[in-house]
Structure formats: C-alpha cells, structure tokens
Structure 1
Amino acid sequence: MLEVLADRTYRHLFAAQVVALLGTGLATVALGLLAYDLAGDNAGLVLGTVFTIKMVAYVGIAPIAGAFANRVNRRALLVALDLVRAGVALCLPFVTEVWQVYILIFLLQSASAAFTPTFQATIPDVLPDEARYTRALSLSRLAYDLENIASPMLAALLLAVMSYNSLFLGTVVGFAASAALVVSVLLPSPKPSQPRGIYDRTTRGIRIYLATPRLRGLLALNMAAAAAGAMVLVNSIVLVRSTLGLDASELAWTLFAFGAGSMIAALLLPRVLDKVSDRPVMVGGAALMVVTLLGLATEVATIGLVWPVLLSAWLFVGLGYSAVLTPSGRLLRRSAHAEDRPALFAAQFALSHACWLLTYPLSGWLMTRFGPVAALGVLAGLAGASIVAALRFWPSEDPETFEHTHDNLPLDHPHLHGTRRHAHSFVVDEEHPRWASQL
C-alpha cells in the first residue's frame, strides 16, 4: 500500500490530507469546549445546530462547487479553499456570541464542501492505474480512522499546557500546511468541457450519478453505511455511560474498536480488490453491518448488554463500514470522463451526507424514545432495505465496455463513424444521456 507514496505528487497530496484532518480534529475538540463556554448547559443544542449546519453546507454547496471546479485551475482552487478555512479558524477564538459560531462554521464547512470533492477527483488523475488508485483509497481511509484516534490524543496533550482557544491555531497551521503542500506540486487539470449553462453544470454530477446503475447501488449502500455508522457515533455514549454505567475511558475504547475495524478492512482491501470485484465486497460489508446490529439487538433483548460484546460488535461494524466506503472512489472513477469527475465526486459527497442528515437524528430519536433494541433493530432494517435496493439497482454483470446501438444520434454524427452499433468504455455523457440498455 505504501508504494504509492513513491509518487511525489500523491505523497504531497496525502500529507496535505493528513495535516488538514489533524487540524479539523483539533477544531472539533475546541468547538465543543467553546460551545460550553458560550452556552453552558445548552452546549449540546449548539453543537447539534453546528453539525446540522455542516451537513446542510455539504449537501447544498458541494454540487454547486463541483459545477465550477473544472473551469478554474485546480491547484489554485484547492489552495484558496485551504486559506479560507485557515482564515475562518483564525476567527473562531475571538467569537463572543453563538450566532457568530454558526456563521463561521457555515463558511468553514462550505469551503470544505468545495475542497474535499475536488481533492478526491484529483487523485485518479494523479494515479491513473486502478491498482495504485485502490491503494490510495485505502490509505485515505486509514488517514480518516487514524485522525479519529490521533486528534483527541493530541488535543489532550495540548490542553495540558494551553487553553482550548489555542487549539484553533493548530487548525490554522493544519490548513496552511495543507495549502503549502498543494502549492509544492503540479496537478493535472483535465481539458475543459464544452460551455454549459449554470443549471446544467450544477446538476450534471447528480444527473450522471443517478443515471448510472452502479452509482445508484452505491447511493443505497451509502445509506446502509450511514445507518450503521450513526448508531455507533450517536449512541455509543448512551450505551457506554447510561446502559453500562462505564466512564469516559471505556467510551474512548468503544469508539476505538469501531475505528480499528475500519483500519483492518482498509489494510486488507487492496489485496482483496485485486481478486474480487467491488460489488460483492461492498454488499458483503453492508451485510456484515446488518447481521452485527441484529445480533447485538438480540443480545441486549435477551441477556442485556455486555461491554466486550459491544466492543466486538463495533469492530465488525467498522470492518463492514470500511468495506462499503473505501472502494466507492473506484466506482466514481469508472463512471465519468476526467472533466466530469469533480462534479461526480461532488454529487457523491452531497448525496452521501444527505444520508447522514437523515440517520443522525433518526438514530438519536430512536434511542431516546424507544431504547437500544429498537434503535439497533430499525437501523439494521434500514441498512438491510438499502442492501436490497443496491442489489436491484446495481446489476451483478457490470462491465466497463458495452456494445450498444445509438438511436438517439443521426448516422452522420462523428461519434458513430458510420455505424449505429458499436462498443466502447461506457459512461453517461452528451452522446450517452442514458445507460446503454436504454439507448
């Protein structure tokens, strides 16, 4: 997996991702402390609003940003967005009112909603070989999981010698370092696409996404991952502190079990995906999450919750979670021309976070209103229904090259070369506005 770091451009981009993630993690810890400082016992309400603003920005801004990402220099765009994020983080220590936090977080997350899909769409251009790109995806997954562990530890060490407001300066350093690393390399920029209207550019990524069967299947699997992930991220604190009566250190180990499962899967997936196609791996990962949640619900309903069982369950959920999410970039890479990838990655970013926008509040409401058995059962049912939808949307036979007939183009069109029936690597574009079976 580490062999891909021999590529200087990718190595610098990966380092930029890592330092930006560490900075974001520090900001997350500092933001919780800032919310408590400003709102006291209402800090939970403030943070809930902050996370809602984050998701709204992700869902609303990403498609708009993706529409324009291929019309500007990609390196300049990424650097500008990093500097915007650094500037916002620099303002956070000076806020005195809750509404100021909301405005700054919207600006910060809007910049992230533009940065992340553009960054993700750049990697397949840097690493065009699929095997190397697969290893890059696994490294990226590891970076996210390690950030969940490293950032709280780093924050704890820093808080021993400085105030929480100083953590925001660490965020500024992280984004500034990310910008410097992006500046240090030349990034490939695909040829610009033909001129399009604002509506066409804004909706293009989502239209390609929803017209591609494998990506409709990916959207369903995103919902399965969001259902299981929300159970872990929203309700672990209730299960550990209230149901089991354990303290904060056990909560940390419980969340670590989920992250460890995700990391194990990320380490194993490159070799697995060399031999097995994406569909069975991703569906199998989703099925593992469903079986685990149902098994834990049965355990809680019959003999009660035991901490070692919860640790094992979250480990398996983490395995399944990473098996679903890590290969998703491969599907996106296969499903669009290079010039359309920023829009398509933006669509994935927006639609996947729309799933979380649903499952986050649903998970918390189910646990609060009906208890852990109902929460586990309903979320497992939602994930299971999502698997059924994915199997229906995403055919088991999913070749890249299709033989197809063009009844939608005149015979003298340059794409046809004098014959309506031909075969080539198939993606949705101007000549192929629908999937091959529908042309």
Structure 2
Amino acid sequence: MSTTLFQHRDYRKLFTAQVSALFGTGLTTVALGLLAYELAGADAAAVLGTALTIKMFVYVTLAPVVAAFAHRLPRRSFLVTLNGIRGAIVLGLPFIDQVWQIYVLIAILQAASAAFTPTYQAIIPDILPDEHDYTRALSAAQLAATMETLLSPMLAAAALTLISFHWLFVGTAIGFAVSAALVLATRIPHSTATAAGSFRDRITVGLRIFAATPRLRGLLGLNLVVAAAGSMIMVNTVNYVRDTLGGTQSGVAILLAANGFGTMLVALALPRILDRTDPRPVMLTGATALVLGLAAAIGLSTAGSGDWRWTAAIAIWALIGAGTAAILTPTGQLLRRSAQPGDRPALFAAQFSLSHLAWLLTYPIAGRVTTAAGFTATWITLIVLAGAGIVAAQRLWPRHDPAQLTHLHEIGSIDPARLLDAEQVDATHYRHTHPYIIDTDHPRWPTRRELAMAA
C-alpha cells in the first residue's frame, strides 16, 4: 500500500473510521448467524436469507433517494448521525427473542447503512483528486471491507470461547461509536453534486449513466456473479458448518475468516496490477474464480464424510474471497472514470443499489432453496446465475474500451466554449477527442458507425 496515501490527514481518519465500522459489522455478521440458529435451529438459513433479503431491498430502494437529496445536507454530520443510529440498533439485537424482531431491527439498521455507504464512497474522490492515490484508496477500501470477513470473525472465534455471542453486538456498537468520532474530526468538503433537475431526475441520473455506458452495463453482469457466490458464503456457512461438518460456533468464524483471507491477498496485490493493465481482464478473471469456487462447493456437497472436508471448505471459501476482491476492488475506478465529479454521488448510489439488487435475487435462493432442497440444489442454481453474469459481462463490456474517444458534435448542439479544442470537419460537425462520459453534452454512447465516421 502506498505510504503517501496515508499522509493525507483527512483520508487517514476516514479510512480508520471505515475500518472501525466494518470491524463492528463483522462481529454482527457472526453474531446474527448464531442468533438465527439459536431462534430457528435447522431453519437458520431461511431466517438469514429473509433478513438479508430485507437488507438488500432497503439498499436497492433507499440509496438512490438519499443520493438525490444528500447534497443538501452537511455530509460530516450526516455520517455521524447514521453511525449513531446503527450503534443504537445493534445494542437492541441481544434482547430479542422472536424471529420477526430480527427482521424489524435489520430493516432499520440497513436503512442507515444504505444512506451511509454511498455518501462515504462519494467523499473519497473529493478528498483524493489524484488518480494514483485514488486507485490505492480503492484497494485500501477493499482491505477495510476484508475486516468484516477476516479479522473480526477471528476475534469472534476467540471471544466465543469466553463469552456468549450476544456480547458481540456490544462490540459492534463500540465500532460505530469510534467511527462516528473519527468522522466528526475529519474535514469533509461540501458536496459537488449538482442539484439541477427535478427530484426524479436526480434519483435516476446514476441509472441513466449505467444504462448508457458499455463498461457499466458489463459491471451489472459481474455484480450478479459476486452476489451468486457471496450469498453462498453469507447465508449457508452457519448451517454447513454446524449441520454438515459438525463444527462449533468458532468453526463458523474460522470459515468466514478463510473467505476474508482470500479477499485480503488479492486486494493487496491489485494496485500494482491495475497500474499496468485495464480492469476488464482482472475483473473477468475474478468472475471465473467465483464460478470455479461454486463448482468446487457443489462437488464438496456431494462428497462423502471425512475431516478432509474442512481443508477443502477452507480452500473453497478462500477462493471465493479472492474472486470477489478481484471484481470489487477495481469497481470504484470504473465508476470514477465514468462520471463527471458532480454526478459521482449519484453513480456510486446507483452501483450500490444495482449491485444489491443482484443480492436481492440470490439471498432468497440461498436461504429458501437450501431449506427445501439442500446445499447441492442451491449451489447448482447459484452457479447457473453466476455463469449468466459472466456471459453478460463479456458481451456488454467491449474488449476495446479506451479512456478517450474521438467523436462528432453537430454544430449548435453544444456550447461553443466547450469546443475550443475541437476540429471542424465539415459545415455541420466538429471532431472532438477527450475522455467520453455520459452527461448533458453526451447523453448517449456513440455507435460504432459514428465512431468510424469520426476517426
């Protein structure tokens, strides 16, 4: 990781705040699974699947709405308030004794997270305008997310030998409190998001950019691959460890930690790789790794008994973590490249919603199908979805995806001040070359024929 990156005082504080919040969230990931198992037993996968489906529904519906009006709010105070809400909710989780109470509290908790995450993500490019630093910040963000599936489960495994899992929710609340304090001490610039257009327009601007940009349409397919493999990890780990492998609470945390370890290794290696190559082959390689991980899991689910299954499961969970990192780490780079600064918050919110829309599909499958038909049928269904995601990504995201495009503008269709460096090619057209981004001057992507005419 670049040492100069952490010389940015405000970025350093925000990064530490993210680590603190995710560290607490990782404890809740373990504790929530164990709470579901305590309340529902063998039906824990269905309970977790429903709880996580509620989470995804809130993410999909709320994030674009927040992005549409968040520019009116002081971002620092907004983030601090959201951390406070999240901390208060998790403190209530140890006291519930009914499954429906999990669903209500998860809905409120994830509503705050749906507002927090895209707001936080959109701040980072404003604090780190240098592309080199921002690329490394993306890797650092992925490493921070790894804390949810690596270090915090490992700590949970150790803590569970001494205390009840209910106390893990207290650790989560402490993490949110520390995060709020760090955000409060950070200088966060005012939002550059534009307030132009109707409320409906501001909600949909990120979606319009996605729909019009080929690389982002490909990202939608990769989102499905990540969700298909990730839902297996998030929903099925508890029941697989407890009911198939005969493991303990600590065994659940160890398998989740293996997934996080795979994520960490790839996230550490990617910055230098992304300096030398385009994100597309890296992300497609990650998608292939996820499909291979699901295929291996299917094989494991049909195999006989034996202690060797623990070793195999650890390797599979780690492979899925590695593939996930290869897709998620470059995603912010794609988003930054594909939007004007004023549209970035909306685009980050759109990715947040659209990626979780895929999880909204896969979480119920991982929960309900497992309960009804077992692991093998579930994981076969998920690998079919992942395969469809790879095919879509390869077809929608062209191999040749240059940063700059030479294209034509009709005279009179754009402010002449924006065409000072353009070349007039005939009586009706200017030829212009620059990084092509969907905005008011470029409302759609040029066709191959139009690009050929401009060449």
SS of 2:150 mapped into structure 1: helix
Cα distance in 2 for partners of 1:157, 1:118 equals 34
> Which residue number in structure 2 is paired with residue 421 of structure 1?
431
TM-superposed CA distance for 1:178, in Å, is 1.3
CA contact (8 A) 1:261 1:315 kept: yes
TM-superposed CA distance for 1:409, in Å, is 5.3
CA deviation string 1:242-297 (max 9, x = no partner): 44445444444333322211111111111211112100000011112223333453
- Aligned counterparts, 1:29-428, within 5 A: 29=30, 31=32, 47-90=48-91, 92=93, 101-155=102-156, 167-298=168-299, 306-307=308-309, 308-407=311-410, 410=413, 414-417=417-420, 419=424, 420-428=430-438
Cα distance in 1 for partners of 2:295, 2:45 equals 29
CA contact (8 A) 2:63 2:352 kept: yes
Residue 26 to residue 426, structure 1, CA distance change in 2 (3 Å): same
TM-score by length of 2: 0.85
Residue 387 to residue 159, structure 1, CA distance change in 2 (3 Å): closer
TM-superposed CA distance for 1:424, in Å, is 1.6
> Which residue number in structure 2 is paired with residue 6 of structure 1?
7
CA contact (8 A) 1:402 1:436 kept: no
CA deviation string 1:310-336 (max 9, x = no partner): 332222222111101111010011111
Cα distance in 1 for partners of 2:255, 2:2 equals 28
TM-superposed CA distance for 1:177, in Å, is 1.8
> Which residue number in structure 2 is paired with residue 435 of structure 1?
445
> Kindly, what percent of the aligned residue pairs are identical?
51
CA contact (8 A) 1:70 1:339 kept: no
Cα distance in 2 for partners of 1:194, 1:310 equals 49
CA deviation string 1:189-227 (max 9, x = no partner): 343425221100111111112221111111100101111
Residue 336 to residue 56, structure 1, CA distance change in 2 (3 Å): same
CA contact (8 A) 1:257 1:315 kept: yes
Cα distance in 2 for partners of 1:361, 1:311 equals 24
CA deviation string 1:86-125 (max 9, x = no partner): 3434555666776555444322211110110110111122
SS of 1:406 mapped into structure 2: strand
Cα distance in 1 for partners of 2:24, 2:368 equals 31
CA contact (8 A) 1:66 1:205 kept: no
SS of 1:147 mapped into structure 2: coil
TM-superposed CA distance for 1:387, in Å, is 1.0
Residue 191 to residue 132, structure 1, CA distance change in 2 (3 Å): closer
CA contact (8 A) 1:241 1:247 kept: yes
CA deviation string 1:364-401 (max 9, x = no partner): 44444444444333322321221111011111111221
Cα distance in 2 for partners of 1:424, 1:183 equals 39
> Which residue number in structure 2 is paired with residue 15 of structure 1?
16
TM-superposed CA distance for 1:299, in Å, is 6.3
CA contact (8 A) 2:123 2:188 kept: yes
Residue 356 to residue 425, structure 1, CA distance change in 2 (3 Å): same
Q: Which runs of 5+ in 2 are unaligned?
A: 425-429, 451-455
CA contact (8 A) 2:19 2:147 kept: no
Q: How many residues align?
A: 439
